[in-house]
Amino acid sequence: MPLNTSTPECLYYGLLTNSEADLATVGAAEIWIATQIEVCNVDSSARTFTLKFVPDGDTTGDQHLIGFGKAMTIGATPTVYRATGRWVLEASGKLRGFASAGSVVVVRIDGIKVTA
């Protein structure tokens, strides 16, 4: 039986758009364990954002919200929202998200990538 490899790394880093979209897809032989999520608003106005972990084969819905709830508010620049925990997304699952305005909310997700 082969051993799994666990590597701490940045799982996702990027700007949210203003409509829900796939941000990243977990590899076929991987599991992501997100341990810290950081969201930063670089705009001069408060914005809202939503993040979801959607398992492979599921249709996106409120049941996939990542711990924050729907349309979390983040204040004007320089506001950073940080959350720590354990969010697990298995092979071929998708990270989805959006913000109330495009290209002004930055997301970084750090964690552990487990590969077979």
User: Structural domain boundaries of the chain?
Assistant: 5-115
Cα–Cα distance, 112 to 42 (Å, whole number): 27
Beta pairing, strands 47-54 & 94-99: antiparallel
Cα–Cα distance, 93 to 80 (Å, whole number): 26
pTM of the model: 0.92
How much is the mean pLDDT over the chain?
A: 93
Cα–Cα distance, 53 to 6 (Å, whole number): 20
pLDDT value of residue 66: 87
Query: Is the pLDDT at 2 greater than 90, yes or no?
Result: no
Cα–Cα distance, 84 to 79 (Å, whole number): 17
Angle at 50 between CA 45 and CA 55, to 5 degrees: 160
Cα–Cα distance, 98 to 18 (Å, whole number): 5
pLDDT tens, 64-97? 998 667 889 999 988 899 999 999 999 999 999 9
Query: Could you confirm whether domain 5-115 is CATH 2.60.120?
Result: yes
